[in-house]
A and B are shown apart, each in its own frame.
Chain A
Amino acid sequence: MKRLITWGFIFLFVVLLLKSCIKQDIEPVYTPQKYSNENLDNIKYPLKNKNITIDGVDYLQSQAPVGEYGGELILSTIGEGPKTFNPCNTKDATSSSMAGLLYDGLLTTHPLTGEVIPLLAKSFSAKGNEYTLNLRKGLKWSDGKPITVDDVLYTYWEVVFKGLGNTATRDAMLINGKLPKLYKVDDYTVKFVTPQPFAPFLRLLSYPIVPKHYFKPVSDKGESAFNAFLSPNTPPSEIVSNGAFKLKEYVAAQRVVFERNSDYYKINLENKKLPYLNRLVYLIVGDTNNEILKFEAKETDVLSLRGANVARYKQRESESDYKIYNLGADTGTLFMVINLNNRKNSEGNWNVALHKQKWFRDRNFREAIDWAVDRDGMVRNIAHGVAKPLFTSESLNSIYLNKKLQPHPKDLNVARKKLEESGFIIKDGVLYDLSGKRVEFDLLTNAGALERESIGVMIKQDLEDLGMKVNFKPIEFNTLVNKLANTCDWDMAIIALTGSPLEPHDGKNVWKSNGPLHLFNQRKPNQKYDDRLAWEKELDDIIEAGAVKLNFNERKQIYDKYQEIIYKEKPIIYLYSPIRITAVRKRLKNIFPTSLSGVVYNVDEIWIDKKGEVK
Chain B
Amino acid sequence: MEFFRFVLKRFLQTIPLLIIVSLISFFIIRLSPIDPLAELRLNPSISQETLDKEIKRLNLDKPIGIQYLSWAKSFVKGDLGYTSSGEKVSVKLKERIPNTLLLTLVVIFMTWSVGVPLGIFSAIRKESPFDRMITVLASVGMAIPSFFFAILMLIFAVKTGWFPVGGLTSYNFNEMSFIAKFVDISKHLVLPSLVLFTISLSGLQRQMRANMLEVLDSDYVKFARAKGLSEGKVIFKHALRNAVNPMITLLGFEFAGLLSGAALTEYVFQYPGLGRLILEAVMKSDINLVMASLMMGTIMLILGNLLADILLMLTDPRVRQEAK
Contacts and interface: CB of A to CB of B under 8 A. Distances in A.
A339 B167 CA distance: 47
Given A91-B85, A290-B270, 19 more contacts: A80-B280, A92-B85, A168-B46, A171-B47, A228-B86, A231-B86, A251-B173, A252-B96, A254-B167, A285-B166, A290-B165, A294-B165, A297-B165, A481-B35, A497-B42, A500-B45, A508-B44, A516-B48, A525-B48
Contact of A252 (B35, B38, B166, B272): B272
A232 B88 CA distance: 11
Contact of A283 (B91, B167, B277): B167
A293 B165 contact: yes
Contact of A281 (B95, B154, B166, B171): B171
A509 B166 contact: no
B50 A509 contact: no
A253 B165 contact: no
A286 B276 contact: yes
Interface stretch (A24-32, A315-323, A404-412, A472-480): A472-480
Interface string A492-504: 0001011110000
Contacts of A499: 44
Contacts of B73: none
A237 B73 CA distance: 37
Contacts of B47: 167-168, 171
Given A286-B276, A525-B48, A297 B164 contact: yes
B45 to A, nearest CB: 5
B35 A510 contact: no
Interface string A253-297: 111010000000000000000000000010101100010011011
A290 B49 contact: no
Interface centre among B44, B47, B92, B167 (most CB of A within 10 A): B44
Given A251-B272, A497-B42, A497-B44, A83 B85 contact: yes
Interface of A: 72, 74, 79-80, 83-84, 91-92, 167-168, 171-172, 227-228, 231-233, 249, 251-255, 257, 281, 283, 285-286, 290, 293-294, 296-299, 476-479, 481, 485, 495, 497-500, 506-510, 516-517, 525
A171 B49 contact: yes
A506 B45 contact: yes
A254 B96 CA distance: 11
A109 B164 CA distance: 38
A253 B171 contact: no
Contacts of B272: 251-254
Contacts of B46: 168, 171
Contacts, number: 117
Contact of B45 (A92, A168, A249): A168
Interface of B: 33-35, 38, 41-50, 53, 85-87, 91-92, 95-96, 154, 157-158, 161, 164-169, 171, 173-174, 267, 270, 272-273, 276-277, 280
A294 B170 CA distance: 12
A246 to B, nearest CB: 15
Contact of A478 (B35, B45, B161, B276): B35
Which 8 A-B residue pairings sit nearest by Cβ, starting from the closest? A253-B272, A252-B95, A478-B35, A83-B85, A171-B47, A476-B33, A297-B165, A281-B171
Contacts of B48: 516, 525
24 contacts: A80-B280, A84-B86, A167-B53, A171-B46, A171-B47, A171-B49, A232-B87, A251-B169, A254-B168, A255-B171, A283-B167, A285-B270, A286-B270, A294-B166, A297-B164, A299-B164, A477-B33, A478-B35, A479-B33, A481-B42, A497-B43, A509-B44, A510-B44, A517-B44
A177 B270 CA distance: 47
A297 B171 contact: no
Given A171-B47, A254-B168, A294-B165, A249 B174 contact: yes
Interface SS, A side: mixed
A296 B155 CA distance: 10
Given A252-B92, A476-B33, A167 B49 contact: yes
A510 B44 CA distance: 7
Contacts of A231: 86-87, 91
B270 to A, nearest CB: 5
B22 to A, nearest CB: 24
A167 B35 CA distance: 21
Nearest to B154: A293
Contacts of B86: 83-84, 227-228, 231
B161 A297 contact: yes
Given A171-B47, A516-B48, A283 B171 contact: yes
Nearest to B273: A253
Contacts of B270: 253, 285-286, 290
A169 to B, nearest CB: 10
A586 to B, nearest CB: 19
Contacts of A74: 171
A439 to B, nearest CB: 29
Nearest to A499: B44
B87 A83 contact: yes
Contacts of A254: 167-169, 272
Contacts of A228: 86
A509 B50 CA distance: 14
Contacts of B161: 297-298
B45 A481 contact: no
Contact of A507 (B41, B44, B49, B92): B44
Nearest to B155: A293
Contacts of B44: 497-499, 506-510, 517
A495 B173 CA distance: 43
A510 B171 CA distance: 43
B41 A485 contact: yes
A22 B53 CA distance: 54
A363 B47 CA distance: 31
Contacts of A290: 165-166, 270
Nearest to A228: B86
A478 B168 contact: no
Contacts of A495: 42
Contacts of A91: 85
A297 B96 contact: no
Contacts of A481: 35, 38, 41-42
Contacts of B154: 293
A516 B50 CA distance: 13
A84 B207 CA distance: 48
A478 B38 contact: yes
A507 B154 CA distance: 43
A83 B270 CA distance: 18
B183 to A, nearest CB: 17
B50 A167 contact: yes
A505 B175 CA distance: 48
A477 B38 CA distance: 8
Given A252-B272, A290-B166, A296-B158, A233 B42 contact: no
